Homo-oligomer: A and B are copies of this chain.
Amino acid sequence: MAAEPVRIDDPADPRIAGFVSIRERDLTGREGLFIAEGTVVLRMLGQAQARANGFAAEAILLLESRLAGIAEVLAAFPPEVPVYIASQAVFDAIAGFNMHRGVLALGRKPSAQVGASLLGRLPGTSLVLAGCGLSNHDNVGSIFRNAAAFGADAVFLDETSCDPLYRKAIRVSVGSVLTVPFSRAMAGEAMLRGLAEAGFEIWGLSPRGQVSVAAIPPARRIALVLGTEGEGLPEHILASFRTARIPQRPGLDSLNVATASGIALYQIALAMGRVA
């Protein structure tokens, strides 16, 4: 049962300080916190918190007109999570721009320990994604959405990849970053070695891959490795592991990395019998 809503009339009210100028602050990051936008993402944050997977809401801020429509979503949060409501003018003054969605939550990220122990918690039969140098928030968000659609068990990002809990990445993922377990800490090669030692068959996705993604044989554990758009995976990674390509017309520009991840995941999930 959610908390009783508290009305905010002053954009400088210290209780909603965490929501002030979210657009600018998002770019600089904030320790341990993230901003979730929109009803769908709020619903997934509630589900994540209920499953005790490390995520927690610190506070919720709503346009007053949205309150009635999302009562059922709010009901998933414990009463300790404050729910603030504001008029459109106050809401926009807080957020720093016109937020027509009118639904925001300030969330707390899981601790670093949750990410560090992820590999050990994976099931015996696993399909995971690994990203090296994924620096575009849109792409990372889309990749998580694809991971959820095809039932990937986890996403491992190297330390040079961007934060999936950046506001825009969360939105593009339609909240999947809150449900697909992930870690982001290690150097790319160490991360892939760790996966290989844990029994994962490692497949790098590259336009110059050795075989078609349709020819990746099923295995108990498969890790699909994605590189940054443009550059692709670095040579030392392509040389150390098996690689697959998506059959396509020759041309200057290959597929977007998020679309490519969707096609490869689809094909591997089919091969592993995880979707039908």
Binding site for B on A (CB under 8 A): 40, 43, 142, 145-146, 148-151, 174, 212, 214, 246-249, 251-256, 258-260, 262-263, 266, 269-270, 275-276
For A151, what are the chain B residues with a Cβ–Cβ distance below 8 Å? 248-249
For A258, what are the chain B residues with a Cβ–Cβ distance below 8 Å? 259
A146 near B276 with CB under 8 A, answer no
Query: Mind listing 8 A-B residue pairs with CB under 8 Å?
Result: A40-B252, A142-B256, A142-B259, A149-B248, A248-B266, A248-B269, A248-B275, A258-B259
* A249 interface neighbour in B149, B251, B254, Cβ under 8 Å: B149
For A252, what are the chain B residues with a Cβ–Cβ distance below 8 Å? 40, 43, 174
Give me 14 other A-B pairs in contact (C-beta within 8 A), A145-B256, A247-B276, A259-B259 excluded. A40-B252, A142-B256, A142-B259, A148-B249, A149-B249, A150-B249, A151-B249, A246-B266, A247-B270, A247-B275, A248-B266, A258-B259, A262-B262, A263-B266
A75 to B266, CA, bound (A): 42
B253 near A174 with CB under 8 A, answer yes
* A262 interface neighbour in B145, B212, B259, Cβ under 8 Å: B259
B146 near A255 with CB under 8 A, answer yes
B253 near A269 with CB under 8 A, answer no
For A262, what are the chain B residues with a Cβ–Cβ distance below 8 Å? 255, 259-260, 262-263
For A148, what are the chain B residues with a Cβ–Cβ distance below 8 Å? 249, 251
For A149, what are the chain B residues with a Cβ–Cβ distance below 8 Å? 248-249, 251, 254-255
For A214, what are the chain B residues with a Cβ–Cβ distance below 8 Å? 270
For A276, what are the chain B residues with a Cβ–Cβ distance below 8 Å? 212, 247
Give the interface centre of A247, A260, A262, A276 by most chain B CB atoms within 10 Å: A262
For A142, what are the chain B residues with a Cβ–Cβ distance below 8 Å? 256, 259
A266 to B265, CA, bound (A): 13
A260 to B251, CA, bound (A): 21
For A256, what are the chain B residues with a Cβ–Cβ distance below 8 Å? 142, 145
A146 near B249 with CB under 8 A, answer no
* A145 interface neighbour in B43, B145, B253, Cβ under 8 Å: B253
A49 to chain B, nearest CB (A): 17
A184 to B246, CA, bound (A): 30
A144 to B83, CA, bound (A): 43
A148 to B256, CA, bound (A): 12
A251 to B270, CA, bound (A): 17
B40 near A253 with CB under 8 A, answer yes
B259 near A146 with CB under 8 A, answer yes
Task: Specify the chain B residue showing the minimal Cβ separation from A262.
Answer: B259
